[in-house]
Structures are given as structure tokens and as C-alpha cells.
Amino acid sequence: MNTHLHITSWALALILLMVVVVLHNQGKAKGAKITQMILRLVYLVILGSGGHLLGMYFSGPNVALAIVKGLTGLWTIAAMEMVAIKTVKNKPASGMWIQLVIAFVVTLILGFIVL
């Protein structure tokens, strides 16, 4: 059940990030700000459910890989936040988008293929 919560929350976070970017590009700053605040609450759900999943791995043989996956998950969240912040501040965010894609792909590979 916790795995479903975790996957649902990061999928929701990706959708909310896209909504923040689209709203900002449409000039709807207030809507983008509200959505960004909701996105930050979803980060807390991701961290909580991810922490619980990480705790479950401490009794198995893949503890080191689970810790690396947790760190890449934190990297993904940080990259998502940086994309949102740079977009809202009208600063170039292409480097952050690249970082987000790399972090997300590495996290997915570790989560679905390796672990």
C-alpha cells in the first residue's frame, strides 16, 4: 500500500510541476503560486512514504542501493523545486530541466529495475 502512495504522490508532483509551469507561462501568477504551495505539500508525502519504503529496505540485502535511491529521490525533488522557482522568477531553467530528467530517470531505474 505504501508503494502505491509513493508512486501516486510523485506522479501527482510531476503533474503539479507542469501545471505550475503552464500557469506561469499563461500569466496566471496567483494560480501558479497556489499550485506551487500544493506541490510543496506533496513533497512531504513523497518524503514520508519514501522514508517508510527506505526503512523497509534496512532489513534486506540491498541497503546501500536503497540509500542511493533515496538520495537520488531527494535530488529529484530538489530539481523539481528549482525548476518551479526559476520558472516563476523568469530565469532560464533549461539546466534545471536537464538535471530533473537525469535525476528522475536514475531514480526510476534504481526503483523499478535494480531494487
pLDDT of residue 97: 96
Q: Into how many domains does the chain fold?
A: 1
Query: In the predicted model, is pLDDT for residue 1 greater than 80?
Result: no
Half-sphere CA count of 52, side-chain side, radius 13 A:
12
Tens-place pLDDT, residues 16-48: 999 999 999 999 999 999 999 999 999 999 999
pLDDT band (50, 70, 90) for residue 114: confident
Report pTM: 0.91
**Residue ranges making up the domain that contains 46:** 2-114
Which amino acid is present at 28? K
pLDDT of residue 59: 82
How far does the chain reach from its first CA to its final CA, in angstroms? 17
